Structure 1
Amino acid sequence: MTVRVVTYNILVPILANRPEHYTKCQIEFLQTDYRWKLIQFQLEQEIIHHDNTIICIQELSLPLLPKLELFFRRLNYTFFHNLYEERHKDYMGVGIAIPVSMQLNSISIIKIGDHIRSICKLREKETRLLPEESNLHQDVKNKLTEPVADPWETAINRRNTLVCLQVMINNKSLYIGTYNMPCLYKEPDVMIIHSSIVKDLMFELSDGQDFILAGDFNIRPQDACYQALTKKDYSDIDLPQSNIYEISYKRNAAQILKSAYREKNGIEPVYTNFAHSPQSPNFCETLDYIFFNGHLSVTNVLELPDHPTGKSYPDETHPSDHLMIAATFQL
């Protein structure tokens, strides 16, 4: 028995409709209606041509949610989702769609920042100085040091949410999770915190059973976060310290993930994200993954291009700046 897992960052409309950001894209290809037709077609092909297809979506948005609900209902699917961002980001979120015929045993929706807060304890405040001493002390401190954001506080304040389902396929249990990592390249400590905690949470939720974790992780194969997720006892990375919280959490370096594309092809895709913007000219990197753990073997992966076409995605045939990726697993 096999299961097909598809993951796709479909790019929220409020970010797509920015010609000043996607400066090398034709405006008509940034329009939601045009992009939706392509997204719908790509997803439908995966559902039609494969058995037990599970769809993971990132950058789900309020404008596209009704369309996706109707699309999945038409194909006899149930869509579980969580919108967690604010209005100026189209209430961005994630979701998982499964066939209505697939047995569903449990649903977990975990806001990672809230989970981090639950395992952190505020440090006791330092002994208070007299008012005049305190003011003098603060003035000197302000002149000598620049304020630095505490990475744990930043990690707590992120809204990113993990959605995880437990399904039964041919009487075999499978946990399937999807996540969109905070895009904080300039704050790698925050990404280390989130990636480690999401990985360890999947092990905790699945409790020794097979699981798949798919999504946009905003990390490259050469990054330390990726190495920490996939290399056992990887030691070239440490969780950051906090000046605000006492941290009891320790990442489990012995629990690691396998990547479907690397297991099947011996290497990750050449790229899964391609876009040109003033801030990131000609950005072309692999950021999306289908990770897994347990007694699963990869029998097939969706073939991806070796190099991008055009000047930037979205374009005539690519409705998002991300590629859809997919893998078939033998249970």
Structure 2
Amino acid sequence: MTCRIVSYNILAPILANRPEHYFKCQLEYLQIDHQWNLIQSHLEQEIMQNENTIICLQELTLTILPKFELFFRRMNYTFFHNLYGERRKDYMGVGMAIPYSIQLNSISIIKIGDHIRSMSKAFEKQTNLFTWKWDFYQLVKSKLIEVVSDPWETAMNRTNTLICVQITINNKSIYIGTYHMPCLYKEPDVMLIHASMVKDLMFQLAGGQDFILAGDFNIKPWDLCYKLLTEKDYVGCNMPESSSYEISYRSNTELVLKSAYREKNGAEPMYTNFSHTPPSPNFCATLDYIFFNGSLTVEKVLELPDHPSGDSYPDETHPSDHLMIAATFRL
């Protein structure tokens, strides 16, 4: 028995419809109707051509949510989602769809920032003359010098949410999770905290059973976060210190993940994200992954191109600046 895991950052319509940002894209390819027709076609093909297809979505937003609700109802799927983003980003979040035919045992929806906060305790302040002088000094200092933020505080304040379900297929229990990592390239410590926390949380939720974790992790295969997720006892991984909190969490460096594409092809895809924008001209890199742990075997993966065509995604055949990725697992 197999299951097919599809992961797709669909590109939020509110982010796509910015001609000044995707200035190398034709205007018609940035419209929601064009986006939706292609997304629907891609997903329907995956569902019809594979058994037990589970869909993981990132950059799901309020505007396009009703279309997905109707689509998955028509395809006989149960659809779960959590929209956690800011209003200006149309409450962007994540979603997961499971066929009615698959037994659904449990659902966990966890805000990683809140999970981090549950393992943190703020340092107690001693109120005396010295601390008053110290607080005054810090206040003056903050006005004159750019103060470096506490990465743990930043990590706690992120609302990114993990959706994890436990399902049974042919008497085989398995956990499936999806996550969209905070895109904070200038604050790598925050991404390191979230990557480690999500990994360890999936191991905790699965409780020794097989699991799959798919999504847009905003990390490249050579980044520190990728090594933390995939290399046992990686020596270069040290959690940052906190200036404000006592952190009880310790990253479990013995628990690591395998990547479906690397297991099957010997390497990660050449790219899963391609766009030309003012902040990142000609950006082309792998950011999306299907990680797993346990006795699962990767039978096949969705074939991806070696290099992009055109000047930038979205285009005539790509509704998002991300490629859809997929893997079939033998349970």
Shorter-chain TM-score bucket reads over 0.9
Code of the residue aligned with 1:219 in structure 2: it is I
Code of the residue aligned with 1:11 in structure 2: it is L
Code of the residue aligned with 1:157 in structure 2: it is N
Q: Residue by residue, what CA displacement relative to the aligned partner does 1:237-291 show, whole Å, maximum 9, x if unpaired?
A: 2111111110110000000000000000000000000011100000000000000
CA deviation after TM superposition for structure 1 residue 133, in Å: 3.9
Structure 1 residues 52 and 122: alpha-carbon distance in aligned structure 2, compared to 1, 3 A threshold: same
Code of the residue aligned with 1:16 in structure 2: it is A
> Secondary structure in 1 aligned to 2:38?
helix
Q: Residue by residue, what CA displacement relative to the aligned partner does 1:22-53 show, whole Å, maximum 9, x if unpaired?
A: 11111110000111000000000000000000
What residue is the counterpart of 1:43 in the other structure?
43
Cα distance in 1 for partners of 2:151, 2:291 equals 25
What residue is the counterpart of 1:279 in the other structure?
279
Code of the residue aligned with 1:179 in structure 2: it is Y
> Secondary structure in 2 aligned to 1:194?
helix
CA deviation after TM superposition for structure 1 residue 129, in Å: 2.7
> Is 1:81 aligned to residue 78 of structure 2?
no
CA deviation after TM superposition for structure 1 residue 131, in Å: 9.3
TM-score of the superposed pair, with normalisation by structure 1: 0.97
> Secondary structure in 2 aligned to 1:114?
helix
Cα distance in 1 for partners of 2:311, 2:65 equals 29
Q: Which moved more, 1:80-89 or 1:263-272?
A: 80-89
CA deviation after TM superposition for structure 1 residue 102, in Å: 0.5
> Secondary structure in 2 aligned to 1:315?
coil
What residue is the counterpart of 1:211 in the other structure?
211
> Secondary structure in 1 aligned to 2:154?
helix
Cα distance in 2 for partners of 1:37, 1:136 equals 59
Q: How many residues align?
A: 331
What residue is the counterpart of 2:300 in the other structure?
300
> Secondary structure in 1 aligned to 2:23?
coil
| Alignment RMSD | 1.4
> Is 1:29 aligned to residue 29 of structure 2?
yes
What residue is the counterpart of 2:18 in the other structure?
18
Alignment gaps of 5+ in structure 2: none
Cα distance in 1 for partners of 2:143, 2:59 equals 41
Cα distance in 2 for partners of 1:33, 1:276 equals 22
> Secondary structure in 1 aligned to 2:129?
coil
Code of the residue aligned with 2:182 in structure 1: it is P
What residue is the counterpart of 2:110 in the other structure?
110
The 5-angstrom pairing of residues 215-234 of structure 1 reads: 215-234=215-234
Cα distance in 2 for partners of 1:155, 1:95 equals 21
Cα distance in 1 for partners of 2:61, 2:132 equals 51
The 5-angstrom pairing of residues 119-268 of structure 1 reads: 119-129=119-129, 133=133, 137-138=137-138, 141-142=141-142, 145-268=145-268
What residue is the counterpart of 1:8 in the other structure?
8
What residue is the counterpart of 2:269 in the other structure?
269
Cα distance in 2 for partners of 1:5, 1:113 equals 26
> Secondary structure in 2 aligned to 1:299?
strand
Code of the residue aligned with 1:57 in structure 2: it is L
Alignment gaps of 5+ in structure 1: none
Structure 1 residues 130 and 252: alpha-carbon distance in aligned structure 2, compared to 1, 3 A threshold: closer
Q: Residue by residue, what CA displacement relative to the aligned partner does 1:104-128 show, whole Å, maximum 9, x if unpaired?
A: 0000000011111111000112544
Cα distance in 1 for partners of 2:56, 2:10 equals 10
What residue is the counterpart of 1:289 in the other structure?
289
Code of the residue aligned with 1:237 in structure 2: it is C
Cα distance in 1 for partners of 2:135, 2:185 equals 35
Percent sequence identity over aligned pairs: 72
Code of the residue aligned with 1:227 in structure 2: it is K
Cα distance in 2 for partners of 1:89, 1:128 equals 44
TM-score of the superposed pair, with normalisation by structure 2: 0.97
> Secondary structure in 1 aligned to 2:218?
coil
CA deviation after TM superposition for structure 1 residue 222, in Å: 0.3
What residue is the counterpart of 2:326 in the other structure?
326
What residue is the counterpart of 1:94 in the other structure?
94
CA deviation after TM superposition for structure 1 residue 136, in Å: 5.9
> Secondary structure in 1 aligned to 2:167?
strand
Q: Which moved more, 1:287-296 or 1:78-87?
A: 78-87
> Secondary structure in 2 aligned to 1:6?
strand
Cα distance in 2 for partners of 1:125, 1:38 equals 56
CA deviation after TM superposition for structure 1 residue 139, in Å: 6.2
> Secondary structure in 1 aligned to 2:256?
coil
